[in-house]
Chains A and B, each alone.
Chain A
Amino acid sequence: MTTTTHAANAAGDRRSSKPKRSDAAKREHRTGWAFMAPFAILFALVFILPIFWAIYSSFFRQVAEGGGAYGGGKLVNKFVGLQNFQYVVTSATFWSGIGRVLLYTLIQVPVMIIAALVLAMLLDSYIVKRVTVFRLGYFLPYAIPGIVASIIWVFLYNGQISPIVKGLAAIGVNVDFFAKNIVIGSMANITTWTFTGYNMLIFLAALQAIPHDLYEAARIDGANGLQIAWHIKLPNVRAAALLAMLLSIVGTIQLFNEPEIMSVSDPSISKSFTPMMMALYTSRGTLTPSGDGPASAIAIVMALIAGVLAALYALAERKVNEQ
C-alpha cells in the first residue's frame, strides 16, 4: 500500500503550501465524499449496521411471555447479558464445529495454495508452450457455483452411480467418501476443485509481471530452472500468495455450502457440523437455544476467531519474510 501514502502525501503537500483549510481543500473534501457517498451508504447498510446489530442482539434472547395462556405466548426480547456468549464458549458442539473447520483449513488451504503455485510456475516455465487450454481448463470450475459443484461431487462420491467409486472398487479399492474420517477430506476436495484454478490465475498474473531480464541474468550466472523458481519467482508472488492465503483462511472459517449439501444426502452430518451451519440453524429455530441472540453470539465468536487466525498468519508470514 505504499502508493497510497504517496498519493496522500502529494495531496497533503499541495495543500500545506496554501492557507489552512483553503477553499480548494474544502472543495476537495466535498468532492471526495461525493464520490465516496454511494459506496459508503451501501457499505454502512450492508456491513456496519449488521455488525452493530449483531453485537446488540447478542445480549438478548427471545423468550415466550406469560406462558401459553394466549395462544402460545408472544415472543419478547429479554436482556440476558453475556449468557449467549457463555452458551457459545461452553458449547461442546460449537467447539467441535470450530475444530472441524480448523482441521479443514489446515489441510485444504495449504494444499490448494501450493497446488496453485506449482501449476502457475509450470505454466510460466519454458517447459510447456501451449498453455491456454490448461489455463482455462483449470479455471473453469471457478465458474461453477459452490452449491452446484457440491451436488456434482456428492454424486461422484455416491457408490451407486459414481464411476470413480465403481472404478476404484473394480481394482480392489473400496472407498467410502462419506466415512467418518474421510468426509472432511471429501468436502475439502470440493473447495480445492473450485478455487485452485482461480488462485493459479492470480499467481500466474503475478509471475508474468516479473521482468524476464532477471531470468536471463540468473541463467548467465548459471542458475537452473528450479533455482530460478525458488529464488526469483517465489519471492515475487509472495504478496499475492499472502492475500490469497488470508482470503482462503477467512473463507473456510465460514464453510457452509459443501457440508450443507452433503448433509442432504448423508443425515449423519449434523445441522451443527460447522459453526456457520450452527449459526444459521440457530437463527432459524432448528437448534436450541434459538433466535437471533444466540446466533449473533456464535457469529461474533467466529469472527473473532477468524480475525485472530488471519492476524497470526500475517504475523508469522512477516517473521518468516524478515529472516
Chain B
Amino acid sequence: MSATTPMTRQEREARRARRKADRIRDLHANDLPRSMQPSAAVRIVTIAALVITLIYFLFPIYWAIIASTKTPSQMTGSNGLWFAVGIDQLPNAIAANYSKLLGWTRGNFWRWVLNSLIYSGVSAAVGTLVAVMAGYATAKFNFRGKNLAIGVIMGCMLMPAALLTIPQYSIFHAMHLTDTMLAVIIPCCVSPFGFFLGRVYAQTSVPNELLEAARIDGASEARIFFTIVLRILAPAMVTIFLFLFVATWNNFLLPLMMISADTLKPVTLGLYGMVSLATFNDRGALMMGALLGVLPVIVLFLGLQRYWQAGLAAGSVKG
C-alpha cells in the first residue's frame, strides 16, 4: 500500500496492539518462567504429531510426483515410494510420460490449461470487482432495498450452489450460451462469499471521513471509488481474487454440465475425460497431467502468500 494511504485511528491502534502482542509473545517464547515452559516431553510429542500430520497432507502429492514418471507396468511392479528408474534415466522417463500425456489428451492438454487460466482469470477479475463494488455500496450507502438485498445474498451463501447448476444449464441453453466460455465464466463471477468479504473489508478499512473529504473536494462517486477506495481495498481484493480463482479452477460440475467441445474444456474436465475412457490404463501420464494442471494455482498461492493470509485474517475475525 502506498505511503499516502491514510490510516484510521482504529487501524493505528490495532497495529500498535499487534506489535505489543508480538513483543509479549517473543518474550514469552524465550523467557517463560520455568514452571510455564512446555516440558521436553510435551514438545516432542507435539512436534511428532505435527510432523505425522504433515506427512499425511504431503504424501499423496509426493506419491503423485513419483508416479508421474512411471509406465503402467512400473506402476504395479515397482516400489511405490521411489522412482522405478535410476536418477540418470529420469529425464527420459519424464519425457516419455509427457508425450504419452499429450497423446492421451489428443494434443489438447495445454489448451485445457489455457482454458482453465482464462475461465479462472476472467471470472476472478470480474467477480472481485463486482463483489467489492456491491460490498462497498452496502457498507457505505443507504439505499432502498439494501437490507433485503443483503439478506437474500447472505441467504444464498448457505445455498448448496451445485444444485443451481442444473437450472443454470436450462437457462443458458435457452440463451444459446451452453458450450461457450461464457457458460462457465458468468456463473463463476458471482460469489455471495466474495460479496460478504468485500462488505467486511469496506466496512473495516474505508474510513467515512476520507470519503466525505473527497466529496467536499468535488470528486465524483465513480472517481472516489476507482482512485481511492480500490487502492485501499487492494490487498483485500487479492484475497477475493484468489478465492474466486481457485473456486473456478477447481469447479468440475459446472463445466461437466455446460461444456462438451474438447477445445473448450478446463483441465479438470479434460483429466476426468481421460480417466473415464474405457481404454485408459496409463496412470503415470495422468499423474503428470494432474501435477502440471495444479501448478499454476500453487504458484499463485505461494507468490501472493502475504496478501491472502492478511485478507483471511480480516475475514475470519469479522465472520
Residues of chain A whose beta carbon lies under 8 Å from any beta carbon of chain B? 3-4, 7-8, 10-12, 15, 25, 28-36, 38-40, 42-43, 45-51, 53-54, 57, 119, 122-123, 125-129, 133-134, 136-149, 151-153, 155-156, 160-163, 166, 193, 196-197, 201-203, 205-206, 208-209, 211-213, 215-216, 219, 224-225, 239-240, 243, 246-247, 250-251, 253-254, 256-257, 261, 264, 276, 279-280, 283, 292, 295-296, 299, 302-303, 306-307, 310
Contacts and interface: CB of A to CB of B under 8 A. Distances in A.
A256 B162 contact: yes
Interface in B291-311: 293-294, 297-298, 301-302, 305, 309
Nearest to A146: B250
B301 A146 contact: no
Given A209-B313, A213-B21, A50 B250 contact: no
A46 B164 contact: yes
7 contacts: A8-B147, A38-B130, A39-B190, A47-B159, A50-B167, A123-B50, A256-B162
Nearest to A48: B152
Given A53-B167, A276-B163, A35 B57 contact: no
Given A32-B146, A264-B275, A54 B167 contact: yes
Contacts of A30: 143
Given A28-B143, A140-B57, A250-B160, A147 B316 contact: no
A138 B276 CA distance: 30
B32 interface: yes
A126 B32 contact: yes
Given A147-B268, A148-B294, A162 B42 contact: no
Contact of A126 (B20, B28, B225): B28
B29 A129 contact: yes
Nearest to A154: B275
A153 B80 contact: no
Given A3-B318, A28-B142, A47 B166 contact: no
Nearest to A44: B190
Contacts of B156: 43, 47
A247 B157 CA distance: 8
Contacts of A299: 163-164, 166-167
B61 to A, nearest CB: 7
Interface stretch (B92-100, B106-114, B131-139): B131-139
Contacts of A3: 203-204, 318
B265 interface: no
B46 A279 contact: no
B151 to A, nearest CB: 11
A53 B163 CA distance: 12
B46 A140 contact: no
Nearest to B220: A31
A127 B46 contact: yes
Contacts of A303: 159-160, 163
Contacts of B89: none
A128 B42 CA distance: 10
Given A31-B141, A212-B21, A254-B161, A145 B250 contact: yes
Contacts, number: 308
A148 B271 contact: yes
Contacts of A46: 164, 168, 186-187, 189-190
B317 A205 contact: yes
A138 B53 contact: yes
Contacts of B53: 119, 134, 138
Contacts of B141: 11, 28-29, 31-32, 35
A152 B287 contact: yes
Interface in B14-52: 17, 20-22, 24-25, 28-29, 32, 36, 38, 42-43, 46-47, 49-50
Contacts of A53: 167, 170-171
Nearest to B272: A147
Nearest to A55: B167
Nearest to A2: B318
Nearest to A216: B24
| 10 pairs of A and B residues whose beta carbons are closest in the complex | A163-B80, A32-B143, A32-B141, A35-B137, A39-B134, A50-B167, A205-B313, A212-B21, A11-B142, A145-B250
Contact of A36 (B29, B50, B138, B298): B138
B160 A253 contact: yes
B11 interface: no
B133 A38 contact: yes
B195 interface: yes
B90 interface: no
A109 B221 CA distance: 44
Contacts of B146: 8, 32
Nearest to A10: B208
B316 A279 contact: no
A13 B294 CA distance: 51
Contacts of B287: 152, 155
Given A36-B133, A45-B186, A161 B250 contact: no
B85 to A, nearest CB: 17
Contacts of B160: 250-251, 253-254, 302-303, 306
Contacts of A54: 163-164, 166-167
A145 B294 contact: yes
Given A128-B50, A254-B162, A29 B142 contact: yes
B196 to A, nearest CB: 10
B118 interface: no
Interface string B50-93: 10011011101101100100000001100111000000000000
